[in-house]
Chains A and B, each alone.
Chain A
């Protein structure tokens, strides 16, 4: 139950301010990184990779890179905020406040979604002038963007709750999130892969995020967007329940 809307709003705004204070690091840098991927890969692989009919390879890259920024920034926002607060001890200010575990969760995830959406829009705006990508299903785009951001923000919260030091969060980021992102079809369609790799890709939850997001742009996807939506909704629900249970028990937060 949410009984403290002002408190929830305050924590949300504080978390948004936290990343805007370091805007260059949290927004500008990821946009520039994604655009570098776009320029380099589109020059190196244009004409060599089969994608959807009527879609150029640079256009194909844009939704993948947007979702990649959503994934990475949503995860980074919650995980870095929480582990930083835990290590420095200032998490105490939030724990002392009359906020329920649900309010805590919604504020952190909400702020991570804002960062993820801002960065992905930044990528889109610049990419639009470069490759002229249009959107076929804006609503689906929004739904997959929120599902992806929500899922990774929750993953980041879980990592932040579990970790005792920055190194542990970096381990999750570099050895789980990053490989799953790169192997999810950001840079290629899984139809171009051998059958065994295709099957493996379907076991990667991030594949459904990027494939569904790409459907929002082009109206084409490797699997049904409804299947992708169902998988992502289920994953969001499962991780959300797990995260709320840990927060309500105070796991690694309240001694």
Chain B
């Protein structure tokens, strides 16, 4: 089966900055894929290359088998991109703008009903005849999402689509994205809101300093992390904690001890035993799985630049 997105040994420099350092990535059709990383990790550069907005220095990238350089027009037909920047064309009203976008793909007439459906689904129906410059930031963001979908692409790239938008739009967007995904669309999401990626994505790649430092399905990514957290509330504030507890103490929060313990070991029984021996009564105890955010922070913080970079 042809990959929705295939990236091989992709390199890109901006002056002295080596933005992509040999990125390899393959996303299968129908996946909801998360592309995470801190600012400057290379996510937007990678997306811009896929969209044909930036040219790679070396390597190859293809959308549904169409090379983004050699077969650029076909690749652009296959992909829809929601740009990160809040850009708009001030000369046109919302519906006219979307029809123009559809016209570039030769589907202005055939997709008129689809454009109206997009306007409804994204809460833009009452703004259809409003000039783009008179829209709020959130509304402009919705139009950007609609423009990426006017030609019914098989691959949709959402480059931080919820940056700076309100809760209502987020919920609207995620419901709509889920619907498109259910209908078979491949969706690639970059976001700083890791709980979004955790909730929506099947597979996740984490980028740092222009390389992919982790690429796995969500559960494996979370499961590969060998730690979990235990929150313990004691009956009284102790003068001193036993050394076994201090060794795994992360923080104290409102009377709770937050402990980080190794998965699969006997840390928990040793901690509880030490507290009991010290005469400290445990009132409540709860365990928490690692979140994607913690995995993300650990992977990106611990990733160093390659030698010679």
Q: Which A residues fall within an 8 A CB radius of B?
A: 3-7, 9-11, 13-14, 17-18, 21, 88-90, 92-100, 250, 254-255
Q: Are B53 and A98 in contact (CB under 8 A)?
A: no
Q: Are A7 and B104 in contact (CB under 8 A)?
A: yes
Partner of A97, one of B91, B92, B105: B105
Q: Are A14 and B87 in contact (CB under 8 A)?
A: no
Q: Are A92 and B87 in contact (CB under 8 A)?
A: yes
Partner of A10, one of B53, B76, B77, B104: B104
Name the residue on B nearest A95 (C-beta): B53
Report the minimal beta-carbon distance from A7 to chain B, rounded to whole angstroms. Answer: 5
Give the chain B neighbours of A95 by CB distance below 8 A. Answer: 52-53
Give the chain A neighbours of B178 by CB distance below 8 A. Answer: none
Q: Are A97 and B55 in contact (CB under 8 A)?
A: no
Q: Are A254 and B74 in contact (CB under 8 A)?
A: no
Q: Which B residues fall within an 8 A CB radius of A?
A: 14, 48, 51-55, 73-74, 76-77, 81, 83, 85, 87-92, 100-101, 103-106, 108, 147
Partner of B105, one of A5, A21, A98, A255: A98
Q: Are A4 and B106 in contact (CB under 8 A)?
A: yes
A6–B109 Cα gap in the complex (Å)? 10
Give the chain B neighbours of A10 by CB distance below 8 A. Answer: 100, 103-104, 108
A11–B87 Cα gap in the complex (Å)? 18
Q: At the interface, is chain A mostly helix, strand, loop or mixed?
A: helix
Partner of A99, one of B85, B88, B104, B108: B104
A147–B89 Cα gap in the complex (Å)? 30
Partner of A96, one of B81, B85, B89: B81
Give the chain B neighbours of A93 by CB distance below 8 A. Answer: 87, 89, 101, 104, 147
Q: Are A90 and B73 in contact (CB under 8 A)?
A: no
Give the chain B neighbours of A96 by CB distance below 8 A. Answer: 51-53, 76, 81
A17–B73 Cα gap in the complex (Å)? 25
A9–B55 Cα gap in the complex (Å)? 27
Give the chain A neighbours of B55 by CB distance below 8 A. Answer: 250, 254-255
Report the minimal beta-carbon distance from B93 to chain A, rounded to whole angstroms. Answer: 11
A250–B54 Cα gap in the complex (Å)? 9
Report the minimal beta-carbon distance from B164 to chain A, rounded to whole angstroms. Answer: 16
Q: Which 7 A-B pairs have the closest CB atoms?
A: A10-B103, A97-B104, A6-B106, A89-B87, A255-B54, A98-B76, A98-B73
A88–B294 Cα gap in the complex (Å)? 37
A144–B104 Cα gap in the complex (Å)? 31
Name the residue on B nearest A97 (C-beta): B104
Report the minimal beta-carbon distance from B292 to chain A, rounded to whole angstroms. Answer: 30
